[in-house]
Amino acid sequence: MALNHDELALSDALDDLARDQSEAPAGRYAAVRRRVVRHRIRQVAAGGALAVTAALVAIAVAVPAGRTGSNPASSRRVPGWALPWPDHRNGSVPQRVLDGAVTAWRRAFGPAGRELRKPGRVIWYVGQTAAAGQDVAVIFEVAGPTGHRLVVGSARASQVMKGQPGSWALEAVRAPSPSDVGPAIGFNMPASRPAPKAGLDNWIVEMAGPRVRRLDWTAVTTSGTRAGTASTSRGLVVADTGQVTRQVLLTGLITSRGNVLSHAAYVGLPGTNPASQGGQPGLPVLALPAALRLPTSFRLVGGTGATGAGSIDAGAAAGDVKPGQREVIFARCYGPAPLQIRLLHHQDLISQHVLGVIRCDNAEHELLVPARQVLTHDGVNVQTGEMTSYWVDFGIMP
């Protein structure tokens, strides 16, 4: 049930009251252990026999150097509902730009046509440029009207770095409990590859606890399966996983005590289902295949490059069919599922006539449309699997 205004005010007041907390005392853990030993000694003494062994004393007193009980994560003051993980912001992005991401969240996740009311405290974890400066990646938690939210996402740096509203791609889930957060929090982010190998690479932003020193993963790419590894910065990794054709699988979160990942997990947000359909959180936007080489006589009506299902609207060209002209579809795709090209009819989405099926072998294919059907309808619909990436162009040729 949502908190009322007084309850929200009290929640803010309690967070504010605890804000003056000092750093964790050095030796808290050791102090606790000494209390345990003293209690045991008292118990033993009360029983009429004093049996303090040298080993017991050694455990209580010989605290190894560095084991102070303090934790760099817990020295940051965060509310009880927030993750006690470090703030990784490195100053590469102005705060007003990061505030724009919070504004975008308020606008995107409010009821239709309305913004969320101004949020309470925002706890930042990631707010920096990524993918060689092409993008701005964010991870934050925020107190909203119906509870606390974990928000992740990115925007093109060129669209937001000067304070423009830009276009943020954000995902929000209920903030996980700090005591049950799972191994890591992550998301996928596409970024352009520089010429001559133009296209999109998949990047992962993965945040684990600060004790994690290394991240291992497996990525199935257009050039085969690749095992990746990267050292973390206090638990954070931003890495290029290549032109993937499957979801990236985390295989290791390595600490000083070994791999703390009990079983492999897909890059994604806590509580999301990586195997779900339809572009659910955690599914990467794949790199596009190589561009189509179109004949000079080809007049483009419309085209699309995408991962998963899509469509091309004939728009203003609908009905513009001259005698002797042919409707042609060019396509190139890769991935586990073929492309099924259907007529698009906005009024009748169920019974869509199949114009053809294109094999996704990363080769260019041409599909002739008989009887000039597309421009007498609304366009074409591309049906395919969520992990298939393609270019499809529709046009007219003599």
**Residues at the site binding other proteins, with contacts judged by CB under 8 A:** 2-3, 5-22, 24-25, 28-29, 31-33, 35-36, 39, 67, 69-71, 73-75, 77-81, 84, 109-111, 114-118, 144-146, 148, 178-179, 209, 211, 257
Rank residues 26 and 368 by Cβ distance to other proteins and give the closer one.
Answer: 26
Written as one string, the DSSP assignment of 79-148 is: -TTS--------SSS-HHHHHHHHHHHHHHSSSTT-PPPPPS-EEEEEEEEETTTTEEEEEEEEEETTEE
Q: Which is nearer to other proteins, 99 or 348 (CB)?
A: 99
Q: How far is the CB of 151 from other proteins (least distance, A)?
A: 12
Q: Residue 248 and residue 246: Cα distance in Å, rounded?
A: 6
> What is the nearest approach in angstroms of other proteins to the Cβ of residue 178?
7
Tell me whether residue 14 or residue 363 sits nearer to other proteins (CB atom).
Answer: 14
- For other proteins, give the closer residue by CB, 211 or 213: 211
Q: Does 274 sit behind a cis peptide bond, omega within 30 degrees of 0 on the bond before it?
A: no
End-to-end Cα separation, the chain, in angstroms: 64
Q: Which is nearer to other proteins, 148 or 365 (CB)?
A: 148
Give the angle subtended at the CA of 287 by the CAs of 285 and 292, to the nearest 5°.
Answer: 125
Instruction: Compute the least distance from the CB of residue 179 to other proteins, in Å.
Output: 4
Distance CA 303, CA 198 (A): 18
Task: Tell me the C-alpha to C-alpha distance, in Å, between residue 158 and each of 29, 95, 154, 165.
Answer: 47, 16, 12, 11
Q: Closest distance between other proteins and the C-beta of residue 259, in Å? A: 15
375 DSSP 8-state letter: G
At residue 299, the 3 state secondary structure works out as: strand
Find the shortest distance in angstroms from Cβ 91 to other proteins: 23
Q: What's the CA gap between 208 and 130, in Å, rounded?
A: 17
Q: Which is nearer to other proteins, 57 or 300 (CB)?
A: 57
User: Rounded to an integer, what distance in angstroms lies between the CA atom of residue 301 and that of residue 124?
Assistant: 45
User: DSSP secondary structure string, 177-229?
Assistant: PGGG--SEEEEEEEEEEPTTS-EEEEEEEEEE-TT--EEEEEEEETTEEEEEE
Instruction: Considering the complex, state which of residue 6 and residue 316 has its C-beta at the smaller distance from other proteins.
Output: 6
**Least Cβ distance, residue 89 to other proteins (angstroms):** 20
Please, are residues 77 and 19 in contact by the beta-carbon 8 Å criterion?
yes
Nearer to other proteins, 146 or 229 (CB): 146
387 touches 286 (CB < 8 A): yes
Nearest Cα to Cα of residue 185 among 176, 197, 194 = 176
| Rounded least distance, CB 212 to other proteins, Å | 12
Nearer to other proteins, 84 or 289 (CB): 84
Count of C-beta atoms within a 10 Å radius of residue 384: 25
Min separation Cβ 191 and other proteins, Å = 31
Minimum Å distance from CB 183 to other proteins? Answer: 14
